[in-house]
Structure 1
Amino acid sequence: MAEETGEPASFDLLLPALRPVRAGNGFEEALERILQVIRLGLVPGGGRLPAERELAALLGISRVTLREVLKVLQDEGLTESRRGRYGGTFVRPRTDPADGGELRRRMAETDIEDLLLFREVLESGAAGLCASRGLDDEGADRLRTALAATHEAPLPHYRRLDTLLHLTLAELSGSPSLAARYATVRAGVNELLDCIPLLVRNLEHSQQQHTALVEAVLARDEETARAVAREHCAGTAALLRGFLA
């Protein structure tokens, strides 16, 4: 393990955590991986992460994506960037033992894996039902309108309008029971999401997935609709696990 001298952490220690991410959620999963490395102490306070070129190769992402991930970590006060011959990205010492306390308190009251898995089942199920059954003109207009609202949403209102889009999809599935259960599950997910920052890159990626999801539903492409919904849920799960670990 790297000491406070600033020597980069041993690759042998980092390899199990910094495995290549999947293409669909590269930003979110890369952020999750590095957060795990930091939270687990594999790179201690004062230690240096591998160089950008090496870190990007380990994670299987572009250096552009990696820099966006590193910027989030720096904005959250978890790392700092230093220039010069001995520069790089350094993990900041944790001075507040209660860091993330609100999220951990909520997590103690929630079975996160069960919640996230159930959400994925409900969302992919709703997407599949909407696509297989098809939507009438009114339903299609409602879905397009909900999607457009998320594209135009100011940052403080994004999560509310994002929730409305997913609730609309659940309601259009034709199953009142599914819609009711999804509303309950989504409330639990939102409580956790409220404890982590809104990340612009993640929101941009989410919007791409939202668009692909709506397009698949309107095209009555059930397989794609289910796949996009699952991938979208996996991105959110990766962020929550990353900030929780």
Structure 2
Amino acid sequence: MSSNTARGPRADQLEIASGDLQVVARVVQLLRLLAGNSSIDLVSAAEELGVGKSTAHRYLASMENHGLLQRRDRNRYEFGVLLAELGTMALSRLGVVDLAGPVMEEISVRVRHTIVLSVWNGICPVVAQVREDSSRTAHVSIAVGSHLGPSAAQTLVFWAFRDESFYRFRGAPAADATEAELAEVRRTGISIRQSPRDGVSAVATPVRDPAGRVVATLAAVDISQFVPEEIDSPLARALLSGAETISRRMVSPLDNGSDHP
């Protein structure tokens, strides 16, 4: 019996217009340029591509419209939200985001703080997952996708362990910390920072993949008066234990070992 079902071309018969390939290549060029710098502008984009400013502007505007770039100010662009989302998806393949959820929930209930998992977007930490504490009327709420500043506890963790990181840091703004402070984070595995302006404090620790690279930070965030400042507090120990559990489960997802310190 003959079939009239239409069949598409085989993969080896597909042809991609050379113009499309050039567009992709130029987008990659601009992203690589941005990876080596904290931002790019019209002049640097035009020079990188070897084109006029009007052509470079079309590329930048299109990349902004699609979420690959976002404006830092009127004339400069930085990594956009789509790249942060793609980075989170890549980490999901490693199991970090999915495996962190139950651990974060257990820690939040036990220590009564909001627990936050953050990843690095090339410039700063981005909140990838939150387990919000609602045991008190007054508590801290933080949105997934929030960008954290240079003085955040999570930023200090990423920078302290940048030589052992899953990410690149070339061109990223440095953490607001001395080298002695970063060395102390490396020694203890704990970063504690307070924001006097917001009245909020955070305690953070690194999460590592099976190869030992830092892929995320696990942090407790709350109103400052509720957050202990000791690096060996029960809260700090709970975060260290939780980070170890997430890392362990990336190797053995069914690992039911105790999460308690």
Q: Which structure: larger Rg? A: 2
TM-score computed with the length of structure 2 as normaliser: 0.27
TM-score by length of structure 1 reads 0.29
Q: Which has the higher contact order (CA 8 A, sep 6+)?
A: 1
